Structure 1
């Protein structure tokens, strides 16, 4: 938790620290909600990636979500066992297993997006609606600037 007495009084020295603290709080809130559903951040990323980009081979999905092949395979197996993914074998240039989002996976993804909105609402509760809009705008500019300098990915829409 942020304690202004334990940091510099110069706003230029606080900003990076505050962004980091807010990020950690958001991550913790999301992880708690995911954990209640027996999932983790990579589970959500796999579901989101398949929803956005369609079926993937296991290796390609691991690359897409920036996970090791072993971790991605374990998570894919867990999502398959939970009925959140479908699997099919294709024979195009060799035998490959493709995974895709099952209807239950789409339903879960919708639920997880609702959880993310609830976490965001909890984190931003001290702000007015206008302040939330302004914060979103400013953070998008910061992220776009960092991405333009090759230091981060562009902000999600």
Structure 2
């Protein structure tokens, strides 16, 4: 429902504000949960990429996560210290150092997935199962439109 008392001049402005507020809430809750595990969102992205696509050289991993190699190197260093990834030397067409996920890294990634479900339950607890499904469908459409517009 549109609430004129909130300082917004029109419903469109309020919708944009609500989307941004929901995004901030997700970011805060996810950061809290990942931070409790000694991770950040970028660490999770690196772990997820390794889980989904397998071992990668740092340079290739940087291309996959669309980040500078230096940022990936720092994240990999952090993950190495925690024992969540390991580096292996591969000699195929020359010497390459490859980063791979460890069993501990897989376990942390699984726990992070549970954290995402927890965040969803906190934020969507007021919605029925059908409303959650509808929201998921609508958000996928909004994100697809944003991608086509070049905003993602």
Normalised to the residue count of structure 2, the TM-score between the two structures is 0.90
Q: Cα distance 1:4–1:129, how it changes in 2: closer, same or farther (>3 A)?
A: farther
Q: 2:59 aligned with 1:55, yes or no? A: no
Number of paired residues? 150
Offset at residue 13 of structure 1 (A) = 1.7
CA distance in 2, matches of 1:57, 1:46: 12
Unmatched tracts of structure 1, length 5 or more: 153-157
Query: What's the secondary structure of 1:19's corresponding residue?
Result: helix
Q: Cα distance 1:104–1:90, how it changes in 2: closer, same or farther (>3 A)?
A: same
Q: Please provide the CA RMSD for this pair.
A: 1.7
CA distance in 2, matches of 1:120, 1:143: 17
Q: Partner residue of 2:24?
A: 24
Alignment of 1:135-154 (within 5 A): 135-152=135-152
Q: Partner residue of 1:34?
A: 34
CA distance in 1, matches of 2:26, 2:9: 24
Query: What's the secondary structure of 1:90's corresponding residue?
Result: strand
Mean Cα deviation higher: 67-76 or 4-13: 4-13
CA distance in 1, matches of 2:90, 2:129: 49
* Bigger relative contact order, structure 1 or 2 (CA pairs below 8 A, ≥6 apart): 2
CA distance in 1, matches of 2:4, 2:49: 39
Alignment of 1:1-157 (within 5 A): 5-8=5-8, 10-152=10-152
Offset at residue 4 of structure 1 (A) = 6.8
Offset at residue 140 of structure 1 (A) = 0.6
Q: Partner residue of 1:155?
A: none
Runs of 4+ aligned residues of structure 1 deviating over 6 Å after TM superposition are: none
CA distance in 2, matches of 1:92, 1:7: 62
CA distance in 2, matches of 1:5, 1:40: 37
Mean Cα deviation higher: 91-100 or 131-140: 91-100
